[in-house]
Amino acid sequence: MNHFGSLLLAMTGPEIGLLVAVIVLAVGVVAAVFLTWFILTKRAKRKSEQKLDETSVRVEEMLSEARAQSKQLKKEAILEAKEQELKRRNDFEQEMKEKRAELQRTESRLSKQEDLLERKEAELGKKNEALDAQKEALGKRLEEVSKKQEVLSHQHELMVQELEKVAQLTKDEAKKLLTEEILDETRRDAAVQVRNLEQQAKDEAELNAKNIITLAIQRCAADHASEVTVSVVPLPNDDMKARIIGREGRNIRAIENATGIELIIDDTPEVVILSGFDPVRREIARLTLERLIADGRIHPARIEETVEKVTKELDQQIKAAGENAMFEVGIFGLHPELIKLIGRLKFRTSYGQNVYKHSIEVANLAGLMAQELGLDVNFAKRAGLLHDIGKAVDHEQEGTHIQIGADLAKKYKENAMIVNAIMAHHGDVEPKTIEAVLVQAADAISGARPGARRETGSNYVKRLEKLEEIASGFHGVEKSYAIQAGREVRVIVKPEQVDDAKAMFLAKDIAKKIEAELEYPGQIKVNVIREFRSVEYAK
């Protein structure tokens, strides 16, 4: 301070004035700054208070809206809950009504059953009373019969004594003579009775067999698709024939070399005929040609590619067909190669009958008959499904389809009885089991039923004419008619030349001659009719 005062004393007048001015200016600046800060602070405070008020108002508005929404939601929830409760109550009431109605129906049925039982009890009571009365009547009759027997025995003794006097024979001698006569008569009666019993047994056995076979046929209904050894491929137009033949015949040679099937392209409009004994190769050729025609690109490289692709697809189809047949019949455990061979039968036909369908039908028929007779159903089905397995490769191997099938069954470890059933199904060997006989019968049924196999019209007419010719060639035959599509021949004989006994032998002779001279599917019934009419006129 002393220093400041000495400094002031040392300063001159103008310097002091300048210093004062500076101080005053500094104080003014400080005051202005403070005033500005105060004004700005107050203004900012007012703005923040305004914003706070606006925010409070907005919050209040939002709270009021939220309260209103919550009330609305609460009302909607209550209404929805009431609706659900009402729906559940209605559903419950409806369910209770249905249950009450069901209970009423049950009570009604039970009441009817009770009434029925009461009526049956009453009827049984009446029947029991009637039976008791009949028992009493029978007892009385038995007593009367016993008394009559005593009287008859006494009379018999008297008659024996009288007969001894008249015949001048002792009782033992008469007994011996009578015994001899009775024995002779008994032998004759026994012979007649045995013959009648044999005929009755044959009739009953035939009737039972017919019933079993009829039941099996009724329970096994199968549809068959008939195919032949040629396939026909339709063409969109005749110009396609030239493309199939190709330049200098290279396309047709490529198809024939790749498939082993002969293509016949003739004047028949818009068709190509495929000819070959191997049904699988023929199917490969048919599918290949159809795809080539649809694709439009026909050249040797494309042909080989298509044949290879179709062959693979057909192999898969053959395997699937074999598995489907196994599952349809209901047998398992076959060797995979046997399954493929069964699938190949889908493309094989016999007398126009598809062998694949025929094998399934034989298996089902044999199984049904085995079930009716209480035999091994699985064994019968297995033998029936495999009985024609040789036809899958009989065009590739030498021998009959029976021998080929038996060899295949042995090769793939089938049971010896299965092999016997395969070999015996056409009567080449003696069947060792009843199931093998059933396979024979099922094979005959499947092949002989109407529509299963077909033949040409000329062969059919010739067979009918031959039937009538054979029947008409016997002595005493007046007329003969082949009916039932050649499965029956009716022979009308002259009654004055053929009696009833001869008619029976005539039917056997005609049947034997038909068997010896005629080839036919199934069996033919020979029906000999002898009718005598006596006519007179009243005048």
Instruction: Starting at the earlier edge strand, list the strands of the sheet with 488-493.
Output: 477-483, 488-493, 525-530
| Mean pLDDT (whole number) for 3-25 | 68
Q: How much is the pLDDT for 417?
A: 92
The more confident residue out of 218 and 233 is 233
pLDDT above 50: residue 226: no
pLDDT above 70: residue 253: yes
**Distance between CA atoms of residues 217 and 365, nearest Å:** 7
Cβ atoms 381, 331 nearer than 8 A: yes
**Residues 486-497: tens digit of each pLDDT:** 778 999 998 888
Distance of CA 138 to the CA centre of its chain: 58
The more confident residue out of 110 and 394 is 110
**Distance between CA atoms of residues 438 and 28, nearest Å:** 136
**Residue 240 CB-density burial (10 A; 0-12 exposed, 13-18 middle, 19+ buried):** buried
Cβ atoms 381, 216 nearer than 8 A: no
With CA atoms as reference, report the closest residue to 223 among 126, 95, 356. Answer: 356
pLDDT tier, 179 (very low <50, low <70, confident <90, very high otherwise): confident
Which distant-in-sequence residues (6+ apart) come within 8 Å of 488 by Cβ?
482, 524, 525, 526, 527
**Distance between CA atoms of residues 256 and 262, nearest Å:** 6
**457-530: what fold?**
GMP Synthetase; Chain A, domain 3 (3.30.300)
Q: How much is the pLDDT for 248?
A: 84
pLDDT above 60: residue 227: no
Element (H, E) at 156: helix 13-167
Number of Cβ within a 10 Å radius of residue 457: 8
Placement of tokens 């008469």 in the chain: 174
Of 44-58, 185-199, 355-369, the least confident: 185-199
**230-448: what fold?**
Hypothetical protein af1432 (1.10.3210)
pLDDT tier, 125 (very low <50, low <70, confident <90, very high otherwise): confident
pLDDT above 80: residue 3: no
pTM: 0.46
260 conformational bin, left if phi > 0, alpha if psi -120 to 50, beta if neither: left
**Distance between CA atoms of residues 373 and 13, nearest Å:** 156
* Helix residue ranges, H only, 353-433: 355-373, 377-386, 401-411, 416-424
pLDDT tier, 144 (very low <50, low <70, confident <90, very high otherwise): confident
The more confident residue out of 201 and 131 is 131
Q: How much is the pLDDT for 34?
A: 83
Which distant-in-sequence residues (6+ apart) come within 8 Å of 4 by Cβ?
none
Indicate the domain borders of the chain. Answer: 36-142, 169-219, 230-448, 457-530
Q: How much is the pLDDT for 1?
A: 52
Cβ atoms 164, 170 nearer than 8 A: yes
Number of Cβ within a 10 Å radius of residue 529: 13
* Helix residue ranges, H only, 229-354: 239-245, 250-259, 279-295, 300-329, 336-344
pLDDT above 60: residue 142: yes
| Mean pLDDT (whole number) for 22-31 | 83
Average pLDDT over all residues of the chain: 81
Rounded to 5 degrees, what are φ and ψ at 332? -140, 165
Instruction: Starting at the earlier edge strand, list the strands of the sheet with 262-264.
Output: 230-234, 271-275, 262-264
Name the percent of the chain lying above pLDDT 70: 85
pLDDT above 80: residue 206: no
With CA atoms as reference, report the closest residue to 229 among 342, 347, 400, 345. Answer: 347
**Residues 367-414: tens digit of each pLDDT:** 988 888 888 999 999 999 998 888 888 777 788 888 898 999 999 888
**Distance between CA atoms of residues 472 and 478, nearest Å:** 7
pLDDT tier, 223 (very low <50, low <70, confident <90, very high otherwise): very low
**Distance between CA atoms of residues 440 and 522, nearest Å:** 11
